[in-house]
Structures are given as C-alpha cells and as structure tokens.
Amino acid sequence: MRIDVVTIFPAYLDVLDVSLTGRARDSGLLDVRVHDLRAFTHDRHRTVDDTPYGGGAGMVMKPEPWGEALDSLVADSPAPAHRPTLVVPTPSGTPFTQAVARELAETAHLVVACGRYEGIDQRVVEEAAAAYDVRELSLGDFVLNGGEAAAAAFIEAVVRLLPGFVGNPDSLVEESHEEGLLEYPVYTKPAAWRGRQVPGVLLSGDHGAIATWRHAESVRRTVARRPDLAHRAARVGLGGLDLEVRLAARADAGELFTLTRACWLQELWANPGVHVPALEESFEEAVRGLDDWTTFVAVAGGRIVGSARGRVAGDGVGGGAGEGDGDDGTTWDVGRVMVAPDLQGRGLGRHLLRVVEDAAPAEVTTYVLWTGAKSVDNLRMYKKAGYRLRGPAPGSPGAVVLTKPAPRRSG
C-alpha cells in the first residue's frame, strides 16, 4: 500500500518511522511518503493560507497549492487503473470507525490532506472528487489544531489491518469494535497482585465458561460505557424471526407502553382475577421507567415485539423486589420480560431474559424477579432458565418472587 501525506509540518509525521508502522515500511508492505505543501507554492513567502470570504475568525488554506499537490500525486499513483482515496481529516467529517479502517485497508493508494487553521477551501475537496474517492473523516467529537495527529491515527488503524502486518490474525478479530462490542477486561500473571485476584473463571481451564464470561463482560462494558454502540445490538434468529435486540430509547416509550398493555391484557384474559400492577401504570411512569431501568427491546419487522429490563436493587424508587434484598449492589432486579402475544412460544422471552441478565454489573450475585403465582407459562420459563421460587411477593397478593444465582464474574 502507498500512502502520501501532504502537510505543512512534515516532521509531525516522523512518528510513522517508529513502532509497527515503521516495521511495515521496512518490510516493504507499506510505502509512506510525506510531502511539504509549501513545495507547491510559488511566491516568496510560500503562502498557504488567506482570510475567509464572508469574514470570521482564523485563516483558510488556499486552493492553489492543494490543487497542484493533489494533481501531482494522482499523476504519480502506483495503481493508475484505480482511483486513489483522498482522506481529509476534519472535525466536520464523518466518523472514522473500524469499518472505515477496513475499507481504507483495501485501497492501493491513500492520500491524506492535512489541513491547518480553519480548514481547506472547500473547492479543493469538490475538485479532487474528479480523480479521487474523497473521504472527509473525523476522529471524534473534539477539535485538534490540524489534521496531522488524526492522519497518524488513521494510518496506524489502517496499516495494522494490512495482510501480513500483525503476526497473529486472531488478535485482530477479537478486539474492541470488531463485533460492535467493547473488549472484555484482560489479566496476566501473577494471579494475585496487591490483594487483587484475577477472576476465578479465567483460571478454571473451562473454555466454554471463559468465553461466556468474556462475552458477558463485553456486553456489560458496552452498555455502561457506550450505550450508543449497544443500540446497534446483535441480530439473532429465533424460531424463524429475524430479530434485533437493542437498548430501548425514549422514543420507544409509546410503543413499549402499548406492548406492555397488549401482553398484560392477554395475561389477565388467560388468568381472570390476577392483579396486574403494570396495567395501572401511567404513560409518564412508563417513560420514567426508561430512565430508571436498563431496558432492552426486541425489534422484528419494524415493530417492537418484546422487551425486558433490569436494574440494581435499590437504585430506583421502591427498592429491591424481595425481602432482604440489600442496597449493596449485589441484587439485579429483572422485570417486564414481555413478548408480543402473537410471537410467544419461540424462545424470545428466554433470549431477552439472558440479555438482561448479561447486562448486570459484575458485583451482582443474585437475579430477582416477580411473576404472578398463577402465571403457569411464565413460571415454567423462569424455572427452565434457572430461577427458583422464593416465596410470596411482599405487598402484592397473587405474585411470587423468584431468584437465581448470578454466575461468578470476579474474585
């Protein structure tokens, strides 16, 4: 792969000579050339900027040196049959993601145009589109003084994906963002350090248990740190349904409210006389519930067809579900495991239950939920999922409390 970087600070890109990028250069996998934009000026002061039309603060990079620089790099392209890709780092660009890095790693010739000041005259980008695939890309929601640091980051992310670059290709697959989840925490020897133990499951030699633990940790981290990523949750196929399970957003409140009514009215119809507190909930309370609980929804065919929610006992008004549930963070209240009446019996409730259990924080030792004492189908499903009857639900005649030990996640 050939990468040309154009900048007014060529020395800034000296970092590309060291570390892994440097090794890729030495091995011939990568040919990086850094060019000084001022070499494409013709005035005595080697001017690259001027005042903005329309007024405003700062200076704008002039189009002429950029035009000449980009023309010369097209003419010198190592793969003239293909359009090179022009990357323009800018805080107003589209987000640079692992998916973008993978696309860029497929191209034979990348040119990176590092702007300084308030940016580059927009006509440069428009004009370049005749010869280049142009990508205006941002590193994130913050502002750098120029594109050089971003260019170094883009290049490192792309180059490590080149075939033959990293010794162990597995280490590329399992990383943060490759599956839309953050990476699980990692540990090495010693097993005990300053009184801190490596999570026991990692020492067990049980590869299935280790994989389960790591996936649960990834989900938990993603939900806690990057709810925006958790929204893009996994697609699952269940009983012929093409489903997406994701975190609920406030915009889901109305549909979720309706689903709750549909499910609980059905329950009432099947078990006349059962007390169903969820039917008395106002829409306002339902919206507040979205703030107080970690709520997941299952979407199929554009409609919300199921949900489940969880929270640490004592986090919200009303506290834990059962007697003796402390507010010490070790109990995860599970609630509202619901499946649209027409889609019950396909394992969707069981799946949602697993998703919401997996979202519990590491300190949780017990899952707790309530259901109607006469809700036979619910009781069967919960028992199959490992829940055991603990007794009548305090203050709610006709309801029972079920608990299940959470898998050990640390210590």
Which residues make up the interface to ligand 6GU (CB under 6 A)?
Answer: 89-91, 93, 137-140, 142-144, 146-147, 150
Closest to ligand 6GU by CB, 138 or 396 = 138
**Least CB distance to ligand 6GU at residue 318 (A):** 43
Closest to ligand 6GU by CB, 228 or 280 = 228
Closest to ligand 6GU by CB, 145 or 168 = 145
Closest to ligand 6GU by CB, 51 or 92 = 92
**Are residues 352 and 337 in contact, defined by beta-carbon separation less than 8 angstroms?**
yes
Closest to ligand 6GU by CB, 77 or 90 = 90
Furthest C-alpha separation in the chain:
91
Burial profile 378-392: b = 16 or more Cβ within 10 angstroms, e = fewer: bbebbeebebeebeb
**Least CB distance to ligand 6GU at residue 9 (A):** 13
Residue pointed to by tokens 């980051």: 153
**Least CB distance to ligand 6GU at residue 148 (A):** 9
Q: What is the dihedral of CA 363, 367, 370, 373, to 10 degrees?
A: -150
Closest to ligand 6GU by CB, 152 or 286 = 152
In a 3-state reduction of DSSP, which class is residue 152? helix
**Whole-number Å distance between alpha carbons of 265 and 286:** 16
Closest to ligand 6GU by CB, 138 or 365 = 138
Q: Rounded to an integer, what is the distance from CA 181 to the centroid of its chain?
A: 5
**Least CB distance to ligand 6GU at residue 91 (A):** 4
Closest to ligand 6GU by CB, 40 or 96 = 96
* Spatial CB neighbours of 160, under 8 Å, sequence gap ≥ 6: 20, 166, 172
Q: What is the DSSP string of 290-311?
A: HHHSEEEEEEETTEEEEEEEEE
Q: Which helix (DSSP H) or strand (DSSP E) does residue 405 occupy? A: strand 399-405
**Least CB distance to ligand 6GU at residue 382 (A):** 47
**Least CB distance to ligand 6GU at residue 326 (A):** 44
**Least CB distance to ligand 6GU at residue 15 (A):** 16
Separation in Å, CA 27 to CA 21, 31, 34, 125, 328: 10, 10, 18, 33, 55
Closest to ligand 6GU by CB, 70 or 113 = 113
Q: Which of 230, 211, 212, 210 is nearest to 222 (CA)?
A: 230
Residue pointed to by tokens 């494409």: 40
Instruction: Say if residue 284 is exposed, middle or buried (CB neighbours under 10 Å; 0-12, 13-18, 19+).
Output: exposed
Closest to ligand 6GU by CB, 99 or 265 = 99
**Least CB distance to ligand 6GU at residue 92 (A):** 9
Residue pointed to by tokens 């649960």: 216
Residue pointed to by tokens 């939920």: 369
Instruction: Say if residue 274 is exposed, middle or buried (CB neighbours under 10 Å; 0-12, 13-18, 19+).
Output: middle
**Least CB distance to ligand 6GU at residue 49 (A):** 15
**Least CB distance to ligand 6GU at residue 141 (A):** 7
